[in-house]
Every structure is written in C-alpha cells, then in structure tokens.
Structure 1
C-alpha cells in the first residue's frame, strides 16, 4: 500500500491524535505555537481509500539568510512503525520536505527498545562494574525495535548523538522513567515506592505540606522557583515567556492539556511542577523547588499528588521524562535517576533521534558548525 502525504488542518490533526490512546505532547498541533522560532505544519498520510492513516507535526527552523530549513518531528511522526514497508511512510515525508527546502530531516520514532525494572536499575547503580545503563542487561527487550532500527539504517537514516550520553543533551531524551498506572490501585502504586519514597511521603503529610492546583496567575511563582533550581542544578533556564506561551497554547487546545501544581508549607510555596496529558499518557514536564525546608519533602508530596490525579483520570502511564544513562557516582544527575526510579518507575530506552540528509553539503556544514559551538 502506498501513502499520499499532504498538509492537514489543525482540526484534522487533533481529531487523529485524540482518537489514539497515547501520542507525545510534542506531536499535538498546539505544540507548534510553543515554538515561535520554528514554522509548524501538520502533515497527514492518506491511504488509497483516502483515510487519514498517520499524522505528524513538523517544525521547520530556517537557516539564517537562506530559504533552507532543518525539519524536525520531535517524538514523531505518529505512523504504524511496525508495518512492513516502512519506506512507504518515510519516503513521501522526505520528498515533501525536500520540496519545502529542508536540508535535513530529524525525527524521534516513538518506539521503545528496552525496559529496566526499578530493581534492575537499583542493582545497576550498586554494581561498581556498571558504567552505563545501556550496557546492563534489560528486563525486557521490545520485539521489533532492532528490526526498525536496521530498516532505518538501510534507508539512509542515521541515529544522532542528541539526547545523548547523560540523557539531557539537545533534542529529546532517549532514556526516560515511566511508572505504569494501568490496572493498579493507589495502594499498589505506593507499594511500588522504595523505602525512602514511602518515608518522605509520610513526612510531608505529617509536616502539613499541602499540594494544590495552580493557574496561569501562579506561573510567576513557579518561574521564581524554576530559576533557583536552574542555578542549583547547573542548567540554563528557559525565559518566562516560554511558560506563559506554553500555558496559553496548550490549554487553548484542551483546557486540561497542561496543569500546574504547587506544594505549600506554612504559607510558602516550596516546590512546583507542570503536568501534561495526551490521551492515557501523563508527563511530569518541568519541576522547580527551593532549597529551603527540604526536610518536609515537598517534592515527594508534589509527585504523589500528580500521580494520584493521573490515576484518577484513567492514565495508563506517568512519565517522569528524561533520566541519565550514566551510572557514575560523580555525575550530579545520578541523584535524579534515583529519585525517579524510587517511585517504582521503569527505565525506558527509545530508539532515539534519527536524521536524514537531503542536502549533504549543507547537512555536513551545519553539523560541523554545531559541533564547534
């Protein structure tokens, strides 16, 4: 079966996404509004009967002083990745984007390759001979993932180095932490916590930490804590307008697409986090906290409230997003891995991001420039 690819309306795109149990929040139409430096376009794959069979949000980043673009489909497109003849999906995509002036196409297949249970990750961290999670025997190897990677290689796609060795490089993370919710009670979820997590949730309750839903007016409070977190954890914070734009764009598409939670104690907000939902998939998106009064464990209380609300909504998975691949005790991100996995989460490896050069000269020149920055 061959597919016809063409632009689709936001309404068509949203209907397609809404009909599926899980689609990345980076592949909903409104995500293009969050990225004003990129030109966004919704694309659809139509089968021979004219039925919309796949969709993708492509972001186009112009090369300065040219009419050439980097075309990027973060955690997409939403197609049948397990289908035979993967080229019938991807060749129309590269042909169409070449016509728009793209010199490179980058995408992130939403295909899981391997999973490690919380116990397996804990054992790997304790093993002095283990250097990286990817070198440790997985609890589950997803069938078909290696075949998809091999087919992409044969078609000329190459895995990028982004989202790379510590899980937090440019691009989307290859390794994430997910807590399965489907078919589990809240008691079973809490039973999956490690001892430290259970103790901290009880500490927060006893100390009187209260977690409440916020609104757009609370974003400045979140941002103040976020900037403090960026200084403490050594990352460059996004500008405040990013979160205002994110709230306005996502909630305009779906009033419950984005939520803000705030952890209060004795009249002060100690921690805050954003939560995103598409179908049965819920993501912890951005977190922020102060160093003050950490002994009352506001972060554990915040996450537990968000997991409870996700469970109440019927979510199948609570996604902590990116984790580090390194198991080095000297890496400051290892503590974040311990925190996320301590909630009973699985470490999950996706196929990563892949690139296809449409103009090899420009592709190589831009890659060389980025490497020297």
Structure 2
C-alpha cells in the first residue's frame, strides 16, 4: 500500500466536521498542556477502495501526545483518521499509517491510539473482542492492532438532520419531546448565549451533574481552554437556560464545518420539571441552523436502549429529538513498544472510567 505522510503545522489542518481533528481542537489541547502534531496523508484510491483509478486521496491527521508516565506518552488520534478504506483494507491502512508515523513521533511515544470515526462495520454481527481483533488485523504483517480497553470519545451517538425547516424538525421529534419543549417555553425558560463571565456558573451546574450521575469531574481549567482558540472554520459557544434569573442548564455547542456538536452539558438538580434541558437543545438546533450547519451531533448515548447501561437515560432523552443512530468503530491501539504497552493495558483494566464505580 502506498501512503505518504508529511508533518505540518496544525494551523494548516483542513476544515472538517469533526471538531476533534481541527486546528481549534489542537489549540484547546495545547492550552491544556498537551503537545499536538499534524500530518498530511496521501494515498492511492485503488489501495483503499475497490476501484482501478490512478487518482490519489488527500487528508490530514491531528495527533495528541498524552503522558501516561513520567517518561512515556501515547499518540492519541481523536476521531481520526477521517480517510476511510473498505473493511478488508482497514487494518492494512492503519498499520501502514502507524509505521509511517512512528519515525515522526518522539521516542517516548509507546503506541498510537486511534479513536476511529468510521461507521462500525460489524454492528450487526455482535462479534466478540477476539474476533474483532482478528478481523481488523486481517492482511496485516504485524498483527499489532488491538481493541483499546475503553473508548475516549463517544463511539455511539445520534445525528439530527438540520436541512429541513424548523417545523419539519419538530414534526420528526417524539410527541413528548415536542410537548416538553413547548412546556419549557410556556413556563418562561429563556436560553441565551453567554460568555466567559458565566463559566463559573456553568461549572457549578456541571459539578451537580457529575455528582448526580456519578461521572468523573474535569477541572475548571479544562473548560477554560475552550475560550481561547481562534479558527475560522470552528468555534464553541456557551448556551445557558434561565428561569427568571436562575440558571438551570447549560451546554457548550461547537461548530466545525457543516456540523454542530453538543460538546458538554450540565443541569441543576432543582426545578427539573421546568424542562429547561429541552428548551436548551431546541435553542441549540435553532442556532446551528442559523450557522448553516446541515447536521447536529448529540455526542454520546448508550449503544442500545438497555436500562442496564449507565447512559440509558441519555439515550431516551436524545432519541426524542429525532436523530439517527451512528455506531463508530471506537478506539484501537497500535503498539510501538509492546512490553511498555502491555503494562499500560494492565493499568487501564483497573483504572476508574468515565462512570465512577
């Protein structure tokens, strides 16, 4: 397989609907203390697709270097690469890409972790972890690809088509969701765009949410980093829902190319019958349409409606807005230093996850 990889300045990353592969996100991560690198990729169409074309495909890639010990890092690729081969060439492509990147990453990088944005090609097969590893490694020479212990970004989400009119979008929602949106507005919920001066208010709501749902808490500095970056093709807006002057719910809504994404959300444990979260989502949809976005990513649900999943409540809430499910491939690792990588995998098996035990 022919694949040419060249490093470049992250400022020259291509416009993309995936915020986490944008120059904006590179700046966020740098502000949070991480080193980022960007790479151009050039591949032959016939190597990735079932075509005889002599043409080439061009794309790029953002890699974040994440410390995992005092002197070791992993190269984390958030929702990348976007360039997607046919199923029987996925593993070969990732292997070739990894081998190209190895010489362009620091020696302390022990593995690459791809958080693949690709549609899960096995979602109907219900494959075991062992079979998934075998399938992705088919045709590779190293057999080094391995399903990660857990996903970093949501692998299951819902996308709402924003091309219809607002009335048509409302019509596609569940009747109860439409009712709750209108109920919230009747109760006097007002949603406003707010700035950095409301970050502490958001954070108080966020702490309530984490405690209520038993999820890990980010530091305030994590959200502070969202306010600094400048990128013509991507941005983040803080929306907040109020009843009179009381803030009840809030979200960071991102825009990247033609896609808006519900990035982070929070809500109060008080006055939940105000349905402020429904008004908040409806305002996000309206704002995304005003940005000429064609789709809205609700960013993270349980893979099914099973009540046993810790995100089952989110699944029911978000499903009501009329989106379509997307199951992604999730995180896959390619180890450069197998012994060090095995130690990391063992640690990750017992590490606390996003949902606290």
**Residue of structure 2 aligned with 1:38, choices 34, 38, 57:** 34
Could you list the per-position Cα deviations for residues 324-345 of structure 1 after superposition, in whole angstroms to 9, with x for gaps in the alignment? 1354435453221100001112
The match for 1:349 is 327
Partner residue of 2:50? none
Partner of 1:57: 62
Aligned to 2:221: 241
Deviation at 1:154, TM superposition (A): 3.5
Counterpart mapping for 1:43-122 below 5 A: 43-46=39-42, 53-66=58-71, 68-82=72-86, 87=92, 90-98=95-103, 100-101=106-107, 102-113=109-120
1:1-373 counterparts in 2 under 5 A? 2-13=2-13, 16=14, 18=15, 20=16, 22=17, 24-35=18-29, 36-46=32-42, 53-66=58-71, 68-82=72-86, 87=92, 90-98=95-103, 100-101=106-107, 102-113=109-120, 150-155=135-140, 156=143, 157-163=145-151, 171-182=152-163, 184-249=164-229, 252-254=230-232, 257-325=235-303, 327-373=305-351
Match of 2:265, SS? strand
Structure 1: state its 5+ residue gaps.
116-133, 138-145, 164-170
Return 5+ residue gaps in structure 2 as ranges: 45-53, 352-357
Check 1:79–1:257 CA distance in 2 against 1; reply closer, same or farther (3 A cut). Answer: same
Cα shift readout 1:273-300 (whole Å, capped 9, x = no counterpart): 1101111111001111112222221100
Tell me the TM-score normalized by structure 1: 0.79
TM-score where L is the length of structure 2: 0.83
SS at structure 2 position matched to 1:257: strand
Aligned CA distance change for structure 1 residues 298 and 370 (closer, same or farther; 3 Å): same
Q: Deviations over 1:119-152 (max 9, x none)?
A: xxxxxxxxxxxxxxx6799xxxxxxxx9999455
Separation (CA, whole Å) in 2 of partners of 1:148 and 1:297: 44
Q: Is contact 2:159-2:296 (8 Å) kept?
A: yes
Number of residue pairs matched by the alignment: 330
Q: In structure 1, what is the equivalent of residue 49 of structure 2?
A: none
The 1:347–1:218 alpha-carbon spacing in structure 2 relative to 1, beyond 3 Å, is same
**Separation in 1, partners of 2:341, 2:139:** 19
